[in-house]
Structure 1
C-alpha cells in the first residue's frame, strides 16, 4: 500500500508521497514513488505512483528510457506540447505495461493495477494536475477538485477537505500534508516514513524544494505532536453528552 497526494494551489503545485511498499511483521520495503523530469526553462513533470510495484517501476522505466532513446517513441515526456498530451502519453504507457503483464488486459481490480498522479507545467500553458487510472484514462484537477490522492486515501482525506485553501502558501500546504500523512501512518502500517515532499512554483519550470522527511525531522515531529495535543484539547473542550 502507499499514500500520495498532489495539490494545486494558486502559487503552483505541491506533492507528497510515502516510501513504503510492503509491510508485515518481518517484511518492510522502501521504494521511491515520486519521479521528476526537468528541462530548465521549458518544463517540469512530476509523477507519483501507487499499486503493483513491478507495474509502476516498468511504467517509470519506459517513460525515462524513451526520453534518452527518442527513436523508440516520439514524442517523449520531454517533447509533448502540453501537460494534457503528457497525461495521454503516461496513460498509454500504463495500458501498454499492464496489457503485456496481464492477458485479461487493464482492469481496475487486476493484480497488475497501478494508478498515478501527474503534475507539472509546459511552457506556454498553466500548471496542471491529473490522476491516471489503471485503464489509462485520466481526469484533471479543477476548482471543484483541486487535489488528488492515490493509495490509502481515506484516513488523510478529511483534514484536506476541511482545511485546504487554494490561496495557501507552500509552507501551509506542507503543514496540511504532514497532518494528513500522520493520520494515515497512525491508522495503516502499510504506509510509512520517510516521506518525499516537492514544491513547484508556477512559471519557474524548476523544482522549488525537494526534501525527504524522516522520523527524526524536527518540523515533522513538531507538527505531529502538536496535532495530537490539539485534537485532545479540542475533544476535551466539547460539552459532555447529557445523561
Structure 2
C-alpha cells in the first residue's frame, strides 16, 4: 500500500511519500513513489502515486515522453493546469492500452496521483488525479491532498495546517502524519521521501530520504508519542452521576436522560444466575469434573 501527502501553502509546497509496496505478507518491496520533473529556472513539478505499481510506472514514463498535436509536453506546458491535463491524458492512454488485459487476470486498473509544482509566471498549484484521468485542484479551503492510507494521518493535518502555515511547520506536520500512519498500518513503510519547495525558486529547495536512522524523524516519533500521552494523562477523568449543580468535567449527571437500547431475550433463554452465587475458579471446576 502507500501513504502520500502534499500541502499547498502561501510559502510553497510540501510533498511526502513512503516507499513500501506489497502484494501479500511475504512479498514486500521498496519502490520510490515520488518523481520530480524539473527545468531549473522554468519549472519544478512533483508527481506522487498510489495504486498498482506497474500502472504508475507506465504513466510516469509516458507523460515524460508525451507530446500533443499542438506540440505541448509536460516540459513546455504553459501552466500547471495544462501539465495536469497532460498527465490525465497519459493516465487514459495507459488505461486504453492495459485495462482490458489486466481485467482478464482479475486486476483492477487502480491508480491515484498527486501532482503539484510551479511553472514560471504563475503561482504554486496542486492537483489530485484519478484513475479516469480527471482531476481536482487544491484551494485555500482544502490546502492538502492525501492518497493511499490517508485516514490515520488526516486528523493532525486538519488541526494544524492552513495556507499561512510555514514550510517547516508543514513539513513537521507531514512527518507526524506519516508517523501516525506507520504505527497503525504495516503496509506503509520506510524509507520516506520528503521534498520542500519554496515559492518562485523554480528548483527543488530541500529534499531528503528518511530511513530509520534519521535523527529528526526518530525525535518526532518518540517526542510526539510522549507528548500525546502527557496530554492524555492531563485531561480530567469523566464525572458520573453528578449532582445537577456540579460544574466541571461532567459526563453524566443525575438529570441526564437516556437509556441503552436493550434487546429482550427470547422466552426461557438461559437460566437466571443468583446475584450472590459463589464464583468458581478454573481449578475448582477441574476438580469437580474429576469427581
User: Cα 1:153–1:146, aligned 2, differ >3 Å: closer, same or farther?
Assistant: same
CA distance in 2, matches of 1:71, 1:158: 41
* Greater gyration radius: 2
- Match of residue 145, structure 1, among 131, 142, 145: 142
CA distance in 2, matches of 1:82, 1:120: 10
Whether 1:38 aligns to 2:35 is no
Gaps of at least 5 residues in structure 1 are none
Deviations 1:53-74 (A, max 9, x none): 11000000112234xxx69993
Q: Is the 8 A contact 1:185 1:191 kept in 2?
A: yes
CA distance in 2, matches of 1:53, 1:72: 29
CA distance in 2, matches of 1:23, 1:92: 27
TM-score between the two structures when normalised by the length of structure 2: 0.78
Deviations 1:66-110 (A, max 9, x none): 4xxx6999311101111000010000100110221112999xxx7
CA distance in 2, matches of 1:159, 1:217: 22
Q: Which residue of 1 aligns with 2:5?
A: 5
Deviations 1:127-170 (A, max 9, x none): 10000010100000001011000011000000000111322222
SS at 2:100's partner residue?
A: coil
- Match of residue 101, structure 1, among 98, 102, 125: 98
Query: How many residues of Structure 1 are paired with residues of Structure 2 in the alignment?
Result: 237
**Which of structures 1 and 2 has the larger relative contact order (alpha carbons within 8 angstroms, sep 6+)?**
1
CA distance in 2, matches of 1:34, 1:116: 10
What RMSD, in angstroms, separates the aligned Cα atoms of the two structures? 2.0
TM-score between the two structures when normalised by the length of structure 1: 0.92
Q: Is the 8 A contact 2:140 2:162 kept in 1?
A: no
Q: Which residue of 2 aligns with 1:191?
A: 188
Q: Which residue of 1 aligns with 2:232?
A: 235
Compare the two structures and name the one with the higher strand fraction.
1
Whether 1:65 aligns to 2:65 is yes
More displaced 10-residue stretch of structure 1: 97-106 or 126-135: 97-106
User: Cα 1:11–1:100, aligned 2, differ >3 Å: closer, same or farther?
Assistant: same
